[in-house]
């Protein structure tokens, strides 16, 4: 490897080094504050290390890793989200007994996996990144000893994530059997040459990879695990699974299928459309009957991934690639900060009760009278999830809509509208619960310093980028569109 290539993976080397240092610190002097401080500094330094990389892009580092604007944009999203989750997790774990330090190490491991995932250009690094992300998340889900719900969540995630990884591996093997290539860029020529002769293997391989990825992204009909995992996992971990894990996997899927031309296989697009329609409908309809805020957010994330799939399908249509990538990048940004906000509130409300998370909607009754600021923040994030104008969620949905209109996906767009309409009902239900006056004795909610800052910045971002999205749009235009 040349000096330039080493410089290009400086962020990853830095993060790995800090993980090892952190491990030594934990082994010799266990202190939660120090561990968290190391984590936050590591994440910020890794983010800063992308600045010298910017002058080198695009650059291949061995056939496995490619650093381009797309990778830098998604790495930024991941690092932002991981930092927020670290701060939330500090509040969450600091009063829950000793030996919570390893959690923050695992969080860094998972972040490293996600970073590798978004810049991988080869099946080998993609699968290793997926596994690094997955293995860390299994332990993070079952980290606190909270009985059966946590155990159920961890076990469901372990088995389904393992099975879906096998699907992806098998799909990659079938695609390899056609052309003998594993790099994404090399696959493009294979896909073109063997369009007639090897189509069955290519289609079957792509379908298997998609099935695996759908499991990880939890879109219908592969969504069964989501509500249970969201409910059982500690709230900060849920935030992590919902943002970093899904975002990184979506980013690599988009890269894999746009750079290798596999997305243009027609039968894949038909299958994806069915999946998108189903997850928008099922996600929104099942959320209606839930009384648990974490489960509502789980179904809402299924629906959101459905909206994202519309952009993905648009990327496979003629002339839709550029706009679709732009749309999904913005939508993911909006989804990241909104989801972080929502689970930030769940974390803060869960703090007084160390036995179980505040899932039930009754925990939120009267929040407007007890903690008006927190309630206002939660209202804003919910409105953003619903896609109400002046929030960042609206711009995201608007982008998806534009991408759909440009590629004339009328059926999918009508389902987006129906889904959003149903969505407003259950988001408003939580807001109404918060305005209800309660006479009963309720536990006092303290807003912690770290979590308070996260919530304040997330809310500010939701409003600011909802009114003035230009900075992010410019950023996406400069960085992300370089892969097209």
Q: Which residues form the interface with another protein (CB under 8 A)?
A: 1, 9, 16, 19, 23, 61-65, 99, 102, 105-106, 109-110, 112-113, 116, 124-125, 128-129, 131-132, 135-136, 138-139, 142-143, 145
CB of 236 to another protein, least distance (A): 16
CB of 398 to another protein, least distance (A): 38
CB of 99 to another protein, least distance (A): 8
Q: Which two tokens stand for residue 30?
A: 């266990």
Rank residues 125 and 203 by Cβ distance to another protein and give the closer one: 125
32: buried, middle or exposed (CB in 10 Å: 19+, 13-18, 0-12)?
Answer: middle
Rank residues 181 and 321 by Cβ distance to another protein and give the closer one: 181
Rank residues 129 and 212 by Cβ distance to another protein and give the closer one: 129
Q: How many CB atoms lie within 10 A of CB 88?
A: 27
Rank residues 137 and 303 by Cβ distance to another protein and give the closer one: 137
Rank residues 4 and 267 by Cβ distance to another protein and give the closer one: 4
CB of 65 to another protein, least distance (A): 6
Rank residues 120 and 381 by Cβ distance to another protein and give the closer one: 120
Instruction: Check: CB of residue 64 under 8 Å from CB of residue 122.
Output: yes
Rank residues 112 and 374 by Cβ distance to another protein and give the closer one: 112
Q: Which two tokens stand for residue 26?
A: 């934990």
CA–CA distance from 160 to each of 1, 18, 138, 212, 246 (Å)? Answer: 37, 31, 11, 9, 15
CB of 62 to another protein, least distance (A): 5
CB of 23 to another protein, least distance (A): 8
CB of 375 to another protein, least distance (A): 36
CB of 109 to another protein, least distance (A): 4
Rank residues 61 and 374 by Cβ distance to another protein and give the closer one: 61
CB of 156 to another protein, least distance (A): 16
Rank residues 165 and 406 by Cβ distance to another protein and give the closer one: 165
2: buried, middle or exposed (CB in 10 Å: 19+, 13-18, 0-12)?
Answer: exposed
Could you tell me which residues come within 8 angstroms of residue 289 by beta carbon, excluding any fewer than 6 positions away? none
């Amino acid at each position: 490897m040349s000096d330039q290539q080493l410089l290009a993976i400086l962020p990853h080397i830095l993060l790995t080094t800090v993980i090892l240092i952190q491990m030594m610190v934990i082994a010799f002097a266990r202190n939660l504050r120090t561990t968290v401080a190391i984590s936050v500094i590591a994440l910020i330094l890794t983010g800063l290390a992308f600045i010298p990389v910017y002058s080198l892009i695009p650059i291949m580092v061995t056939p496995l890793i490619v650093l381009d604007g797309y990778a830098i944009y998604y790495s930024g999203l991941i690092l932002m989200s991981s930092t927020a989750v670290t701060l939330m997790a500090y509040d969450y774990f600091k009063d829950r007994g000793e030996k919570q330090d390893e959690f923050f190490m695992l969080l860094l491991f998972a972040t490293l996996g996600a970073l590798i995932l978004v810049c991988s250009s080869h099946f080998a690094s993609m699968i290793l990144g997926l596994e690094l992300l997955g293995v860390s998340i299994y332990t993070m889900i079952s980290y606190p000893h909270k009985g059966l719900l946590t155990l159920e969540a961890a076990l469901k995630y372990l088995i389904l994530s393992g099975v879906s990884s096998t699907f992806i591996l098998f799909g990659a093997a079938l695609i390899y059997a056609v052309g003998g290539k594993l790099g994404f860029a090399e696959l493009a020529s294979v896909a073109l040459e063997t369009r007639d002769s090897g189509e069955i293997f290519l289609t079957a391989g792509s379908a298997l990879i998609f099935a695996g990825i759908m499991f990880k992204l939890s879109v219908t009909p592969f969504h069964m695990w989501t509500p249970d995992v969201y409910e059982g996992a500690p709230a900060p971990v849920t935030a992590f699974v919902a943002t970093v894990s899904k975002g990184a996997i979506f980013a690599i899927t988009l890269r894999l299928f746009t750079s290798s031309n596999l997305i243009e296989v027609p039968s894949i697009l038909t299958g994806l459309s069915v999946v998108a329609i189903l997850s928008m409908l099922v996600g929104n309809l099942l959320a209606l009957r839930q009384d648990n805020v974490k489960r509502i957010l789980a179904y809402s994330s299924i629906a959101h991934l459905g909206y994202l799939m519309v952009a993905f399908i648009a990327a496979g249509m003629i002339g839709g690639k550029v706009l679709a990538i732009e749309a999904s990048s913005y939508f993911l940004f909006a989804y990241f900060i909104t989801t972080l906000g929502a689970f930030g509130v769940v974390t803060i409300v869960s703090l007084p009760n160390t036995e179980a998370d505040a899932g039930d909607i009754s925990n939120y009754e009267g929040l407007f009278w007890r903690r008006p600021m927190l309630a206002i923040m939660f209202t804003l994030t919910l409105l953003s999830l619903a896609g109400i104008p002046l929030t960042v969620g609206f711009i995201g949905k608007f982008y998806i809509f534009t991408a759909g209109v440009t590629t004339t996906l009328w059926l999918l767009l009508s389902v987006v509208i129906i889904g959003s309409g149903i969505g407003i009902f259950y988001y408003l239900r939580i807001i109404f619960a918060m305005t209800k006056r309660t006479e009963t004795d309720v536990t006092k909610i303290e807003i912690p310093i770290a979590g308070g800052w996260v919530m304040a910045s997330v809310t500010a971002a939701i409003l600011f980028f909802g009114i003035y999205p230009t900075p992010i749009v410019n950023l996406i235009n400069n960085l992300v569109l370089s892969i097209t």
